Amino acid sequence: MKFFVDTADVAEIKQLAASGLLDGVTTNPSLVAKSGRPMREVIAEICALVRGPVSAEVAATDYDGMLTEAHVLREIARNVTIKVPLTPDGLRACRRLADDGTMVNVTLCFSPAQALLAAKAGATFVSPFVGRLDDIGEHGMGLIADIMTIFRQYPYLKTEVLVASVRSPMHVVEAAKLGAHVATLPPAVLRQLFNHPLTDKGLAAFLADWKKAGLSIA
């Protein structure tokens, strides 16, 4: 499974990229707005830090507007992925951009039928939002299971399932068990993947024994 981080905080991305764990980054208008900086500037900095796909979302909702904004965004760097909403105009823009060789992330997916449409439109990634489904009493991981089942029936579909709206490490583990290609995680959730009390306890015991023995490696 590939790990993307879901943030526009350049400092966070720089720190996480240094770990070697990041395969890409996803952003959205809300995350970029929080930075208080021009979008093109932020995306350019992120693309310089991460070799993998960096999703930059259009703000327009009509086909022509999406293509105009996509042209501006994809000129920033070669690893920019244009993010479009899962709407009729969004899918039409996806098809046009994909035919031009542009990576496209179709976002705001909430049903298997929508995911299938995104794949048919040539999306590089489709982003099902598991946490938001859980919030309204639906089963977010059930959506991932359904999409993966459908996609496996048609090997010619090359769209990768990018699990979004991830709220906990268990979302990541369950998505990985289902074979999802990518999970995009808030920085805090990515860091939670490291944590286990037995790891901390074991390390403390090893260090205590080492100190008591008075040994040195150097």
**Known catalytic residue at 14:** no
Task: Evaluate whether 180 touches 1 at the Cβ level (below 8 Å).
Answer: yes
What distance in Å separates the CA atoms of residue 177 and residue 140, rounded to the nearest whole number? Answer: 14
Query: Which among 30, 21, 18 is positioned nearest to 2, based on CA atoms?
Result: 21
What distance in Å separates the CA atoms of residue 69 and residue 201, rounded to the nearest whole number? Answer: 51
Structure tokens at 12: 């966070």
Whether the CA torsion 70, 73, 77, 82 is positive or negative: it is negative
Given the residues 14, 83, 120, 212, select the one marked as catalytic. 83
Q: At what angle do helices 39-49 and 63-74 cross, to 10 degrees?
A: 50
Q: Is 20 exposed, middle or buried (0-12, 13-18, 19+ CB in 10 A)?
A: exposed
Sheet strands (E) in the chain: 2-6, 24-26, 54-57, 80-85, 104-109, 125-128, 160-163, 182-185
Q: Which residues are catalytic?
A: 83
